Chain A
């Protein structure tokens, strides 16, 4: 136990079993931010990375921030929803992100003990004042080392910003920044692996060798969960007649109608000036689409691609038309049997750019953005001796990989692309493990006894400044 322990309470091996279980692991993603104590198997705090904003009447610039599932799903007057993360999966709005993370940590993990009763909650109207108060009285994470995750392409300033928040705002005694791809490999028990991470905003391919990221070979594209959602929107819009997506909050009650007939629901109306912002609707529609993706969308599992030809000679599309459809009911009661072709079509674009639906605002993906192309281009940049090893250890993670049939299809695609190599997938059968793969890896890493010497301590940070992250966390 070296420098990392300088300012923490040294864990007495006899007393505490040698595990630093009070270390925190923070894993921000585009859809949700996960936080929890190292050593646990699931993150305790899972909050959406989205936050609500309510513009104040008097000072338009000062908006009230709302965090957490409980508050951002209520159609409050003029509420708008934004995300602290960029579409790239990196942090965009650092100030809000710091607040959001602090909310995640203090609401479920630690607490805001020294704050006065009234201001114990970040949803207070004068929230900025509260935050400052907290910092003055006691840093919220004064006792907990923090392990934060980042994407494989996170660089420069953004990396330093992380340690600054942890050290300056939260007073963490120690910090570490880890690549989420590496952590997902750890979660699957693989020191060497090709991590395929399907998130909400990006697919990321991260080759990991002996626990180290091969940064040059990291590839990514935006054809992930949100891409499928947009495919669905296009699909709904292009169907005859167009299928409207009415989110739950707009429906007061619905009546059962026959499939395909217009909905007969009573809708909620909002007084002029109090309507939620369109972004709120967008966010709520996403909830409906998530349900749709879970219960209807299916990956075409071959043989061949959906746009290809079957062995019998016909096209696979014809084969797909023979497959059973699946019913889905919208929040307003509108329902229909979705034919199998639509079910396959919505996600086929991830594998086959030619099958993707597109319009003016959703440009068609380029051939290099499909998952197979990403894996190929990633592999082409690693040492040729390593490639078979990576193909034999493909770790599938990320919630969007939960599409039915996804693993099978990827297996087929890769086996076809690399016929001579044994392609093996490692995909957990537990949704929780897929969803929180990188967090779980972080939890494992931070609770290892041998990890203690890696922490960047507060003292080191004060000595070297935030640039130390670049030197230490490779």
Chain B
């Protein structure tokens, strides 16, 4: 078998929302080049799938699209529109009165084959893989690496292996656990990986590059980003926020999760104001039910008292905001749109706002506002965020010409409008820059056509303290409990404190501002063993305590049997990785790290040796909880953040497994092995 080349490696990392893929390993590892939403649309024939929504449409120009949502991933999907799968759809276009056409921005009827990490719709999932494969157009000699979700079962692994080998005829296939991939990205053999996804969260303890199945919190339901959106919707739904707006609110910088113990600004005043029972319940009432976090104050926050923001001026300002007719905080978007006066309303609102600003006679009030605006978000009562809403064009037309003008005047032709607020897609746009010019041209055309049917309205709304409560539904508690359980079930007790000290929180669900800090804060406030007890030099030492006696009577005695074996050996791939003289893998500073790793390994073995003799010397954990520092030698990842570090790890692993190691350490399953062992062979080689 000829050696594999960097540029031939295909990596696919499926996620519940977005699937990342890339062909070829660049000089320095970059974020994924291709991002596709993990969804397919049922084709006409049952069991067949299309990458974009195909729908019938009368040739008459008057009719148009009715979908009211789904612009979020528009750009990427449009890029996909050139995929080979869509050709027949285009061909059919001309045939009939009823034209079949693609709607790249719609997600109506979409089927998401992965839900909470589990593969729930196999034919759809396979179609998606095929679609990605075809989009990439890899050469024949392409090894494939797939990142597997922790929720996938052994049988899932087999099915997938069979599909990959038989469908793509790949010469080599590697299935890698997502938590392990993260460890490769962070170049750490030991870590507690907390991967917060869309609908679920995975908590995994990894030691010596071995994933520990015992106590693993795989696919904790209701602990992902979706749960936070839902929580916001629960809180704000009464104020006319749709769940889509809540999704955008969650992604906006004003939505923040405050660390436990931190008081929300002027909480008491707000309690008096909020009429929404849901919000009231979540901010204060201690009897707000299980699964719900108590209020910050009831969790031991500082007693409520006059703070920076509890001045009378602010409160008055707030009351005025609340009572004023132009209260942006309770902007009832749905009602306004339904009333069919969107444009008018917006214009009116602008005018009124201006009038109001002019009418602000009270200088003190104005100063208070200015002061409030200059405060950091977490200290402000309210904050404004901008969101985009996709409305069908004809609805706007019906609202009258003026509304149309208003809309177009406001943001017509602005490329900004197309730019979705989803940061995920932002980088997608960035990543697809490599696409050919022609493709971009086509996409523009597509976009223009698309705009005829729908328009994006840029709106803004004020949000009160609800914006701090995205995680108030108990997510943090659940995840923290799962982490605690996971680490405390780790069989090697002496490694547990290492696991506490190397926490990695990632996943797009953790992108919400303040999430990681709040989670670490929760862990600290609930589980950290205080130093007063961990040290034996407490003032409250029992009187009968003495120092170890010289007779050795109280030193642990060695067991009579020799240690059977030293546990899992060093991962051969780790050795390959650390010894590879590869510029990508060994940037300046890496040599020290190598040294450090080797030292750690040595220490590990020493510990193992000792452990079998005196496993009594374990103290309670955790005495410290630390986040692992993100590796700084991949500049491209710095700006994007390490939320998708698993993909970086996948590239590192692909480099090691396919290119450096070339299969010596059995890092992948070759076609020959597949022919010999069948799909079940994957269990011996998968990482």
Taking Cβ atoms with an 8 Å cutoff, the residues of A that contact B are 15-17, 21-22, 37, 40, 42-44, 46, 69-71, 73-77, 106-111, 113, 117, 120, 123, 248-249, 251-260, 265-266, 268-272, 274, 276, 287, 290-291, 294-296, 298, 301, 319, 321-329, 331, 333, 335-337, 339-340, 402, 404-405, 407-408, 411, 425-433, 435
- Whether B491 and A431, one on each chain, are in contact in the complex, defined by CB atoms closer than 8 angstroms, is yes
- Whether A336 and B299, one on each chain, are in contact in the complex, defined by CB atoms closer than 8 angstroms, is no
- Whether A111 and B155, one on each chain, are in contact in the complex, defined by CB atoms closer than 8 angstroms, is yes
A-B contact pairs, 23 of them (CB 8 A): A17-B677, A44-B154, A70-B217, A70-B218, A70-B220, A74-B481, A77-B289, A106-B153, A111-B118, A252-B298, A253-B299, A253-B300, A255-B300, A258-B532, A290-B488, A319-B553, A322-B544, A323-B553, A324-B548, A327-B533, A337-B538, A429-B564, A431-B493
How distant is the Cα of A106 from the Cα of B151 in the complex, in angstroms? 11
Chain B residues closer than 8 Å to A69, beta-carbon distance: 215, 217, 485
Closest-CB distance, A431 to chain B (whole angstroms): 4
Chain B residues numbered 609-634 whose CB sits less than 8 Å from any CB in chain A: 611-612, 614-616, 618-620
Q: Which residue of B lies closest to A295 (CB)?
A: B620
Chain B residues closer than 8 Å to A21, beta-carbon distance: 680, 683
The segment from B336-344, B554-562, B643-651 that touches chain A is B554-562
**Contact residue among A75, A258, A266, A270 (Cβ-Cβ distance under 8 Å from B538):** A258
Closest-CB distance, A275 to chain B (whole angstroms): 8
Q: Tell whether B120 is near chain A: CB-to-CB under 8 Å.
A: yes
How distant is the Cα of A374 from the Cα of B119 in the complex, in angstroms? 50
B 514-534 binary contact with A (CB < 8 Å = 1; else 0)? 000000000001110111111
How distant is the Cα of A16 from the Cα of B544 in the complex, in angstroms? 64
**Contact residue among A110, A298, A319, A429 (Cβ-Cβ distance under 8 Å from B616):** A298
How distant is the Cα of A258 from the Cα of B541 in the complex, in angstroms? 11
**Contact residue among A269, A322, A333 (Cβ-Cβ distance under 8 Å from B554):** A322
Chain A residues closer than 8 Å to B287, beta-carbon distance: 269-272
- Whether A336 and B533, one on each chain, are in contact in the complex, defined by CB atoms closer than 8 angstroms, is yes
- Whether A269 and B532, one on each chain, are in contact in the complex, defined by CB atoms closer than 8 angstroms, is no
Chain B residues closer than 8 Å to A402, beta-carbon distance: 615
Chain B residues closer than 8 Å to A298, beta-carbon distance: 616
Instruction: Using A276-B290, A337-B542 as known contacts, say yes or no to A108 and B153 having CB atoms under 8 A apart.
Output: yes
Chain B residues closer than 8 Å to A404, beta-carbon distance: 556, 614-616
Instruction: Using A70-B482, A76-B290, A259-B540 as known contacts, say yes or no to A411 and B548 having CB atoms under 8 A apart.
Output: no
For the A-B complex with A328-B620, A336-B533, A337-B542 known, give 20 more contacts whose Cβ atoms are closer than 8 Å. Answer: A40-B683, A74-B291, A108-B213, A110-B155, A248-B484, A248-B527, A269-B286, A270-B287, A296-B620, A326-B619, A327-B534, A336-B540, A337-B540, A408-B559, A408-B560, A429-B559, A429-B612, A430-B564, A430-B565, A431-B493
Total interface residues on B, CB under 8 Å, equals 87
Chain A residues closer than 8 Å to B215, beta-carbon distance: 46, 69
Chain B residues closer than 8 Å to A37, beta-carbon distance: 154, 683
Q: Which residue of B lies closest to A303 (CB)?
A: B553
How distant is the Cα of A254 from the Cα of B526 in the complex, in angstroms? 6
> Which 5 A-B pairs have CB atoms at the shortest separation, nearest pair first?
A404-B616, A256-B530, A335-B533, A429-B612, A253-B525
Taking Cβ atoms with an 8 Å cutoff, the residues of B that contact A are 115, 118-122, 153-156, 213-215, 217-221, 260-261, 286-291, 293-294, 298-300, 474, 478, 481-482, 484-485, 488, 491-493, 525-527, 529-536, 538-542, 544-549, 553-554, 556-557, 559-561, 563-565, 567, 611-612, 614-616, 618-620, 676-678, 680, 683
Q: Which residue of B lies closest to A46 (CB)?
A: B214
- Whether A327 and B288, one on each chain, are in contact in the complex, defined by CB atoms closer than 8 angstroms, is no
Chain B residues closer than 8 Å to A276, beta-carbon distance: 290
How distant is the Cα of A319 from the Cα of B554 in the complex, in angstroms? 9
Residue among B287, B491, B565 having the largest count of chain A Cβ atoms under 10 Å: B491
Q: Which residue of B lies closest to A341 (CB)?
A: B544
Closest-CB distance, B307 to chain A (whole angstroms): 19
How distant is the Cα of A408 from the Cα of B611 in the complex, in angstroms? 15
- Whether A427 and B156, one on each chain, are in contact in the complex, defined by CB atoms closer than 8 angstroms, is no
- Whether A430 and B290, one on each chain, are in contact in the complex, defined by CB atoms closer than 8 angstroms, is no
Chain B residues closer than 8 Å to A433, beta-carbon distance: 564
Residue among A272, A291, A329 having the largest count of chain B Cβ atoms under 10 Å: A329
**Contact residue among B156, B291, B538, B616 (Cβ-Cβ distance under 8 Å from A259):** B538
- Whether A75 and B291, one on each chain, are in contact in the complex, defined by CB atoms closer than 8 angstroms, is yes
**Contact residue among B300, B492, B546 (Cβ-Cβ distance under 8 Å from A324):** B546
- Whether A22 and B680, one on each chain, are in contact in the complex, defined by CB atoms closer than 8 angstroms, is yes
- Whether B120 and A120, one on each chain, are in contact in the complex, defined by CB atoms closer than 8 angstroms, is yes
- Whether A249 and B481, one on each chain, are in contact in the complex, defined by CB atoms closer than 8 angstroms, is yes
Closest-CB distance, A186 to chain B (whole angstroms): 15
How distant is the Cα of A15 from the Cα of B677 in the complex, in angstroms? 6
- Whether A295 and B536, one on each chain, are in contact in the complex, defined by CB atoms closer than 8 angstroms, is no
Chain B residues closer than 8 Å to A405, beta-carbon distance: 556-557, 616
- Whether B154 and A337, one on each chain, are in contact in the complex, defined by CB atoms closer than 8 angstroms, is no
Q: Which residue of B lies closest to A335 (CB)?
A: B533
**Contact residue among A111, A248, A430, A432 (Cβ-Cβ distance under 8 Å from B156):** A111
- Whether B526 and A426, one on each chain, are in contact in the complex, defined by CB atoms closer than 8 angstroms, is no
Instruction: Using A252-B299, A335-B533 as known contacts, say yes or no to A270 and B611 having CB atoms under 8 A apart.
Output: no
- Whether B481 and A73, one on each chain, are in contact in the complex, defined by CB atoms closer than 8 angstroms, is yes
Q: Which residue of A lies closest to B524 (CB)?
A: A253
- Whether A248 and B526, one on each chain, are in contact in the complex, defined by CB atoms closer than 8 angstroms, is yes
How distant is the Cα of A16 from the Cα of B527 in the complex, in angstroms? 48
Q: Which residue of B lies closest to A343 (CB)?
A: B616
- Whether B540 and A295, one on each chain, are in contact in the complex, defined by CB atoms closer than 8 angstroms, is no
Q: Which residue of B lies closest to A284 (CB)?
A: B481
Chain A residues closer than 8 Å to B529, beta-carbon distance: 329, 335
Chain B residues closer than 8 Å to A259, beta-carbon distance: 532-533, 538-540
Chain A residues closer than 8 Å to B547, beta-carbon distance: 324
Residue among B115, B213, B485, B549 having the largest count of chain A Cβ atoms under 10 Å: B213
Chain B residues closer than 8 Å to A77, beta-carbon distance: 289-291
How distant is the Cα of A427 from the Cα of B560 in the complex, in angstroms? 10
Q: Which residue of B lies closest to A435 (CB)?
A: B491
- Whether A16 and B491, one on each chain, are in contact in the complex, defined by CB atoms closer than 8 angstroms, is no
Chain B residues closer than 8 Å to A426, beta-carbon distance: 561
Closest-CB distance, B616 to chain A (whole angstroms): 3
How distant is the Cα of A339 from the Cα of B619 in the complex, in angstroms? 14
- Whether A411 and B678, one on each chain, are in contact in the complex, defined by CB atoms closer than 8 angstroms, is no
**Contact residue among B294, B530, B620, B676 (Cβ-Cβ distance under 8 Å from A291):** B620
How distant is the Cα of A248 from the Cα of B487 in the complex, in angstroms? 15
Chain A residues closer than 8 Å to B615, beta-carbon distance: 402, 404
Closest-CB distance, A310 to chain B (whole angstroms): 9
Chain A residues closer than 8 Å to B556, beta-carbon distance: 404-405
Chain A residues closer than 8 Å to B616, beta-carbon distance: 298, 404-405
Instruction: Using A294-B493, A324-B536, A408-B560 as known contacts, say yes or no to A253 and B260 having CB atoms under 8 A apart.
Output: yes
**Contact residue among A111, A253, A322, A323 (Cβ-Cβ distance under 8 Å from B261):** A253
Instruction: Using A335-B533, A405-B616 as known contacts, say yes or no to A425 and B545 having CB atoms under 8 A apart.
Output: no
- Whether A295 and B619, one on each chain, are in contact in the complex, defined by CB atoms closer than 8 angstroms, is yes
Q: Which residue of B lies closest to A265 (CB)?
A: B300
Instruction: Using A44-B154, A322-B546, A328-B620 as known contacts, say yes or no to A252 and B536 having CB atoms under 8 A apart.
Output: no
**Contact residue among A16, A266, A319 (Cβ-Cβ distance under 8 Å from B300):** A266
Chain B residues closer than 8 Å to A326, beta-carbon distance: 619
Chain A residues closer than 8 Å to B214, beta-carbon distance: 42, 46, 432, 435
Chain B residues closer than 8 Å to A337, beta-carbon distance: 533, 536, 538, 540-542, 545
How distant is the Cα of A404 from the Cα of B619 in the complex, in angstroms? 12
Q: Which residue of B lies closest to A399 (CB)?
A: B491
Chain A residues closer than 8 Å to B289, beta-carbon distance: 77, 270-271, 274
Instruction: Using A117-B120, A339-B542 as known contacts, say yes or no to A430 and B491 having CB atoms under 8 A apart.
Output: yes
- Whether A430 and B567, one on each chain, are in contact in the complex, defined by CB atoms closer than 8 angstroms, is yes
How distant is the Cα of A70 from the Cα of B485 in the complex, in angstroms? 10
- Whether B121 and A117, one on each chain, are in contact in the complex, defined by CB atoms closer than 8 angstroms, is yes
- Whether B540 and A258, one on each chain, are in contact in the complex, defined by CB atoms closer than 8 angstroms, is yes
How distant is the Cα of A259 from the Cα of B563 in the complex, in angstroms? 37
- Whether B548 and A425, one on each chain, are in contact in the complex, defined by CB atoms closer than 8 angstroms, is no
- Whether A257 and B530, one on each chain, are in contact in the complex, defined by CB atoms closer than 8 angstroms, is yes
**Contact residue among A110, A253, A295, A319 (Cβ-Cβ distance under 8 Å from B154):** A110
How distant is the Cα of A295 from the Cα of B546 in the complex, in angstroms? 20
